[in-house]
């Protein structure tokens, strides 16, 4: 059958579950946008700039499973690439589509706008190659094969891909298959799978202290439920790295806490570091999730990756984690492991505001814990917000959206827009600092444009508090100008109603939460929380000290002390 190139791509995007294409129009992608506007199954959603679009696509994919971003060649691509690199690092599948210059102009190496005017049309592709798992420039000759190849790579590898669509070919008709895109995953080599299961069963039979450690992107690889089934079948305790917070419910009786090297509790350290049969579920240790490489896990950890399993120095290629976890969920455990105890239910005193008391970070997070409801989406920004959410006891069904590895400040606000577009009916709450907010603030207007109703906690501590904690408590480079955030939201709202409070005291905060809860299903809520710039929780300062020691070393810290003394 015949189909235009643009419509064939849109067909495929719709088939893999994409209903919205985020991004920014540009003169090289307008024909493709015209084709998009003619459809009922997929629509274009504009963002305020391409970087915000990339962040929004990231947030969309984390709830929807996959997303699409549209930019124009050169200027749009390079504006978006930071967000795409973050998605690559954190295994977030985004289909990056760029409207490229006309195919004939590229063949003739013409000097065009949005290029360096040197006839080089490979430079932008080269920029994207390290941060995508497949790339293609579409032509009438390769469109069907290349579009399908690139989209399969995105779905299977859970990382961004990059498609250049020349502006002059989107309406070209091509012969296409009258069938949906095949996304069947490769199954395991049976001999390898059996060998892994046999090895694991032998280890379990000898073990007295088995446990599990959950790592990155288990939900995106479809491993969340199977991981839980395996853990429950074996009746072993599990801990989580930062990227896996709330992947399984935090109130699960077998969850013992978060693991982060020397910063872990004694109970968690013992369960993980002294385990004689440790299951690592897509575990990769980084500076930020291991308290700067202070993890001490057994060398023979069973690290189950999506497409291979590593046991000590033995690598089993060709083993699907889906099939392996399914098998481990059904084996008969060789014994009952009773050397661990569930966390006892925490009995906490009801939070009561102290009259006239200035609100501080520690008290803020104590109250926030009871404000979060089951099945909320909680979006957190790098810095004190992420650290604060990390210590909360969460109810069931929570989804956390954050960037614990890439840590690009400003990410969370556009990511919230994307996640709201993907799941507008879920209650979504964001915690973002003023410094991060100022990087991507324009996307607030998108909430009003699409009648979205997030609850926004804007932490106003007059600058980069996490950087103050690392180095420069009183340094001017950590200061930012204060904005009138209420008036800014007014400007972006175009007259639409929203809830807004600025709070300084515990009583004001309590009243703001209660009042916001009454209207949160009807309108956007902004709660601006005023903190002292040096209100730094103890855990944040401890982490910042590790960052400073690692980044600058003993000599750098001595030079800092010398300058302070002078």
Tokens of 214: 């959950």
- For residues 316 and 304, give the distance between their C-alpha atoms in angstroms, rounded to a whole number: 10
- For residues 376 and 478, give the distance between their C-alpha atoms in angstroms, rounded to a whole number: 32
- For residues 456 and 534, give the distance between their C-alpha atoms in angstroms, rounded to a whole number: 22
- 461 annotated as belonging to a binding site for a ligand: yes
- For residues 48 and 95, give the distance between their C-alpha atoms in angstroms, rounded to a whole number: 19
CA atoms within 13 A on the CB side of 489: 20
> Hunting for tokens 């609850």 — which residue is that?
455
> Hunting for tokens 């690559």 — which residue is that?
88
- Exposed / middle / buried, residue 14 (Cβ in 10 Å: 0-12, 13-18, 19+): middle
Strands 238-240 and 302-304, by their bridges, are unpaired
> Hunting for tokens 């008969």 — which residue is that?
332
> Hunting for tokens 């209660």 — which residue is that?
514
E strands, 261-342, in order: 277-281, 302-304, 308-311, 314-317
- 434 annotated as belonging to a binding site for a ligand: yes
All residues at 6 or more sequence positions from 87 whose CB lies less than 8 Å from its CB, including other chains: 54, 57, 58, 61, 93, 94, 159, 160
φ/ψ (deg, to 5) at 216: -85, 145
- The DSSP line for 87-156 is HHHTT--EEEEEEEPPHHHHHTT---TTS-SSS--SHHHHHHGGG-S-EEE--TTTHHHHHHHHHHHHHH
> Hunting for tokens 């998009």 — which residue is that?
36
Residue 69 near residue 85, CB atoms below 8 Å: no
Tokens of 35: 């084709």
**Shortest CA distance to 278 belongs to which of 251, 292, 259, 294?**
259
**Shortest CA distance to 527 belongs to which of 489, 482, 481, 472?**
489
- Exposed / middle / buried, residue 341 (Cβ in 10 Å: 0-12, 13-18, 19+): exposed
DSSP reduced 3-state for 58: helix
DSSP tag of 442: G
**Shortest CA distance to 99 belongs to which of 34, 165, 6?**
165
Q: Which helix (H) or strand (E) holds 12?
A: helix 5-15
Binding-site residue set: 434, 461, 463
Binding-site residue set for Mg(2+): 434, 461, 463
């Amino acid at each position: 059958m015949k189909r235009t190139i643009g419509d064939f791509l849109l067909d495929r995007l719709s088939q893999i579950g994409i209903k919205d294409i985020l991004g920014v129009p540009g003169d090289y992608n307008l024909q493709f946008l015209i084709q998009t506007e003619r459809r009922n199954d997929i629509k274009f959603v504009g963002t305020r700039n391409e970087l915000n679009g990339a962040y929004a696509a990231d947030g969309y994919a984390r709830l929807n499973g996959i997303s699409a971003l549209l930019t124009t060649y050169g200027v749009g691509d390079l504006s978006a690439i930071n967000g795409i690199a973050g998605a690559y690092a954190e295994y977030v599948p985004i289909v990056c589509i760029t409207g490229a210059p006309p195919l004939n102009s590229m063949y003739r190496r013409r000097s065009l706008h949005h290029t360096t005017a040197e006839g080089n049309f490979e430079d932008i592709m080269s920029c994207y190659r390290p941060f995508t798992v497949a790339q293609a420039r579409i032509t009438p000759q390769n469109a069907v094969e290349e579009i399908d190849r690139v989209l399969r790579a995105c779905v299977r590898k859970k990382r961004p891909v990059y498609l250049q669509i020349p502006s002059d070919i989107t309406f070209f008709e091509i012969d296409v298959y009258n069938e949906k895109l095949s996304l069947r995953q490769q199954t395991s080599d049976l001999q390898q799978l059996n060998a892994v299961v046999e090895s694991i069963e032998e280890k379990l039979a000898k073990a007295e202290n088995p446990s599990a450690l959950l790592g990155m992107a288990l939900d995106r690889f479809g491993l969340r439920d199977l991981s839980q089934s395996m853990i429950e079948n074996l009746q072993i305790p599990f801990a989580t790295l930062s990227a896996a917070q709330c992947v399984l419910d935090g109130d699960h009786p077998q969850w013992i806490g978060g693991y982060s090297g020397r910063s872990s509790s004694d109970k968690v350290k013992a369960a993980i570091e002294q385990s004689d049969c440790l299951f690592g579920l897509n575990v990769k240790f980084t500076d930020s999730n291991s308290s700067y490489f202070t993890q001490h896990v057994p060398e023979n950890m069973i690290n189950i990756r999506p497409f291979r399993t590593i046991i000590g120095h033995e690598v089993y290629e060709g083993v699907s984690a889906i099939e392996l976890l399914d098998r481990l969920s059904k084996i008969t455990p060789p014994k009952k492991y009773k050397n661990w105890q569930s966390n006892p239910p925490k009995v906490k005193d009801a939070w009561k505001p102290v009259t006239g008391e200035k609100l501080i970070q520690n008290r803020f997070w104590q109250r926030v814990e009871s404000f979060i409801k089951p099945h909320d989406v909680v979006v957190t920004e790098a810095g004190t917000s992420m650290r604060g959410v990390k210590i909360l006891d969460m109810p069931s069904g929570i989804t956390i959206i954050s960037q614990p590895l890439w840590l690009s400040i400003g990410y969370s606000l556009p990511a919230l827009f994307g996640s709201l577009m993907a799941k507008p009916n879920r209650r979504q709450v964001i915690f973002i600092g003023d410094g991060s907010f100022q990087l991507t603030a324009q996307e607030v207007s998108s909430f009003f444009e699409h009648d979205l109703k997030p609850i926004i906690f804007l932490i106003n501590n007059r600058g980069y508090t996490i950087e103050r904690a690392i180095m420069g408590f009183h340094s001017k480079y950590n200061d930012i100008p204060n904005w009138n955030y209420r008036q800014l939201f007014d400007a972006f709202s175009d007259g639409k109603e929203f809830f807004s409070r600025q709070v300084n005291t515990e009583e004001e905060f309590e009243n703001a939460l209660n009042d916001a809860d009454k209207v949160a299903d009807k309108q956007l809520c902004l709660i601006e929380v005023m903190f002292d710039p040096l209100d730094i929780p103890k855990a944040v300062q401890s982490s910042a000290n590790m960052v400073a020691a690692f980044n600058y070393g003993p000599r750098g810290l001595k030079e800092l002390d010398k300058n302070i003394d002078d």
